[in-house]
Each structure stands twice: as structure tokens, then as C-alpha cells.
Amino acid sequence: MSAAQPFNTKVVFGLIATGVLAFGALLLLLAYGGGMGGGNGGQGHALSRAATGFHGLVTLVGELRESHLDESSEEWADHLLVVTLEERNTAEQVSELLSRRAGYPTLIILPKWMTMKDPERRGWVRSIAPGTGTMAGPLLGKDISVSLAEGRMPGSVAGTDEIGGIRIPLPESPQQIRGGNLVPIASLPGGGALIARMGDQPHFVAADPDLFNNHGLRDPARARAAFEMIDRMNQGGDFVDFDVTMNGYGAGNAPSMLRLAFEPPFLAMTLALVIAALLAGFHGAFRFGPVRRAVRAIAFGKAALVENAAGLIRLAKREARLGAAYADVVRGEVARLSAAPSWLQGEALDAYLDRLGKPGSPKFTELAAELHNARDRNGLMAAARALSQWKKDIIA
């Protein structure tokens, strides 16, 4: 009687299927989900909850309008796109951005603060000093400069009619932008632009990120001004996009060998490997053909005894030494079948057997000598066949 199965078959298959699906989901997450995990990195982008990040702006706009995080440049639409630049961006990236956004409202927010990660609080940063904005000016154009405003500043400045003439509360040490084809729409007392438009395009530049970042939006008046400016730049539209591809967090932004396995033309090979693995598992789970009976390690009977003895001789590589014994067996069998006198023994019997052969055919003593002198298995087999054929000719 066979023992009962310790596991339920359905449960086992369910566990296997769940494990396979979970592993596949993990691979997809590693391939495509890594780009959106930068909310606690302390950088200055739309996902960041640090003081220099803009997650608060995304939340604020999302409360009153529809907001969306663009993980790919293919998602850019004709409504306002908010782009946050960082030190790692290049002039080529900004030029391509402005070229693709020709005719569409776009707000570019420049960086300002040099920061370091707070070792005590994950996702927090400690500001070192302003100054990174000076590297962002050349990204917009060779003759554009960014600097910190000097002198005593008022508490707020008024914008032009393009943003509804709203008053914008100034942050500490405001950052300004000058040069190129910039048209100021919110100016500082020294003549620098706090907010500017680039030529005739609806492309706006915010020189100071403290007007929109998480740190700046702690001030209710500044948060209200930030939303009103975005609303005006969007010309009253209901949708606002926040780009993260320029910050390196978009899906498909960086090349990945793992992602290639799930995209054409390599997707066909991936599917083929998955199907092959499923077929291999199916083949291992179910029996094909009749049950193969177990064979005894040591068989019964004389044949098994002879086979085991022969196996030991083969294992010891001593077959060639059995030639003389085979010759003795043939000698006795032929003497019995040919009715040789019983008193014939030794050389006398060999001489008798030599006379039994046909004229011109090999003699018994010659064939027996070949068996005795055999040194390998092939030589032994050849000599044994010759002696067996001589026996057949004698007793025929």
C-alpha cells in the first residue's frame, strides 16, 4: 500500500503559480518601477519632499486643478508643463525641451541652493549656501546670467498684467536672471527679473525656486501667489503637468538590459524562454508513458551469477587471460563429441585433435596458442571466433 501524499496537490500548484507570478512582477518592477522611487532622495524635483523639492507644489495644484507627473517626454501635452532644472542638466537637454515645447506654456524653475543630505532624517536636506543658480544661466542661453540680488529688498514685488499684477512675497536673498531675449514679468528693484518670459514663446523662467518649493510654500501668501502664477501661465487651463524626465526619474529614462528583455525585438525570445520553462515544468510534473519497474540490483539464477562474474572480470580488465581456459573447454568438448579414447591426455590428445582438421585448415594447437598469447580483448575475441569455427567444422 502506497503512503498518502503529505501535501494537497492544489495547494502545491497554487504556491508554485503564486511564486512564478510574484517573480515576474518583481522583474517588471525592477525594469520599469525604479524611476519613481526618488521621493526621499533630498533632490530638487517634483517627487522630492525635501525643503528644496516641489512635492508640495504638486499637491497644491492637485487640490484645485488636475496635476500629472510626466515620466516620459511622450506624455507632454499642450497645457502648462512645469520643469525643475538641476545641476546635472545640459544645454542640449534644455534646447531640445524648448524646441519641442514651441507654442506650448512651459515654466522652468532654476536651482538655487547647495545642499547636503541630513544624516539624521531621511529625505531631509541641510542647506549650505545659495549659488547653484549661476550654473543654470548658460543652460538657457550663452548671454543669460543668474545671480543673487544685492541691496535691501522689499517684502514683495508686483508682477505685470501677464500674471494678473499679483504681488509676490520675496524670499530671503532672492535670485534674479538677466540677459538674452528675456522679458521680465516680475522685476526686482535692481532691474533683475524674478520671473521672465523667453521672447515671444509662452516659456517662463522662475529665477528663484523658493517661490515654489516646499520650503517657500510654508508661507500661505507665497503659496497663494505660486498657484495664481501657475494658473495665469496656464491661461486658466484645468491641467498642469510636472516633468520628472529632466531629473532622471522618468520611466525608460536610462538604458537597462533588464528592460530590453521586455521590449521588442527581444520580447519574442523572452516569451519563448518562458514557454519553454513552463513546458519543462509540465513535463516534470506529470508522467509520460508506462511506469518503469525497478530492477533488482542482484538478479536470481545461474545466468545472473555468470553475468556478475563476467562483470567483475571486465572491471578488472582480465579478459585476455581467459583464453587458455576457453581452449581447455573446447578441447574437452571436441574430444567427447569425436569419441576420442579416454587414455589420450595432454600432448597426445592435442596431436589427435590436430589430425581431425581439414587439410590446409588451422590446427587445434595453433588456435589454442593464439588464445594463450592474446594480450587484449580484441585479440582474444578474434582467436576465440577462429577456434569456435574450427569446432563447428569438426563436429559438422
**pLDDT digits (tens), the chain, 396 positions:** 445 667 787 888 888 889 888 988 888 777 766 554 455 556 778 888 888 888 899 999 999 888 888 877 777 888 899 999 888 888 898 899 999 999 899 999 998 888 777 777 776 777 777 778 788 888 888 888 888 888 888 888 998 988 888 999 998 889 999 988 899 999 998 888 999 999 899 999 999 999 999 988 999 999 999 999 999 998 878 889 998 888 877 655 555 677 778 778 888 898 899 899 888 888 777 766 777 777 776 667 777 777 777 777 778 777 777 778 888 888 888 888 888 888 888 888 888 888 887 777 888 888 888 888 888 888 888 888 888 888 888 876
CA distances from 27 to 188, 263, 314, 384 (A): 52, 13, 54, 67
Phi, psi of 194, rounded to the nearest 5 degrees:
-85, -40
Q: Which DSSP symbol is given to 47?
A: T
User: Domain coordinates of the chain in residue numbers?
Assistant: 37-253, 256-284, 301-395
| DSSP string over 195-221 | EEEETTSSEEEES-GGGTSTTGGGSHH
Q: Which DSSP symbol is given to 5?
A: P
Strand pairing partners for 144?
Answer: 179
In the block, which residue shows the cell 508643463?
81
What is the distance between the alpha carbons of residues 172 and 373, in angstroms, rounded to a whole number? Answer: 110
- pLDDT given at position 5: 64
Q: Centre a 10 Å sphere on the Cβ of residue 245 and count the other Cβ atoms it contains.
A: 22
All residues at 6 or more sequence positions from 35 whose CB lies less than 8 Å from its CB, including other chains: 71, 244, 248, 249, 250, 251, 252, 253, 254
User: Of 180, 3, 153, whose CA–CA distance to 94 is shortest?
Assistant: 180
Global pTM exceeds 0.85: no
What is the distance between the alpha carbons of residues 26 and 24, in angstroms, rounded to a whole number? Answer: 5
- pLDDT given at position 177: 92
219 burial type by CB count under 10 A (0-12 exposed, 13-18 middle, 19+ buried): middle
For 44-71, letters b (16+ CB in 10 Å) and e give bbbbbbbbbbbbbbbebbeeebebbbbb
- pLDDT given at position 40: 56
Amino acid at 219: D
β-strands 125-130, 144-148 pairing: unpaired
In the block, which residue shows the cell 522652468?
108
CATH topology assigned to domain 37-253: Rossmann fold (3.40.50)
- pLDDT given at position 89: 84
Q: Which helix (H) or strand (E) holds 299?
A: none
- pLDDT given at position 1: 43
Q: Centre a 10 Å sphere on the Cβ of residue 195 and count the other Cβ atoms it contains.
A: 26
In this structure, are residues 206 and 109 in contact, taking their beta carbons and an 8 Å threshold? yes
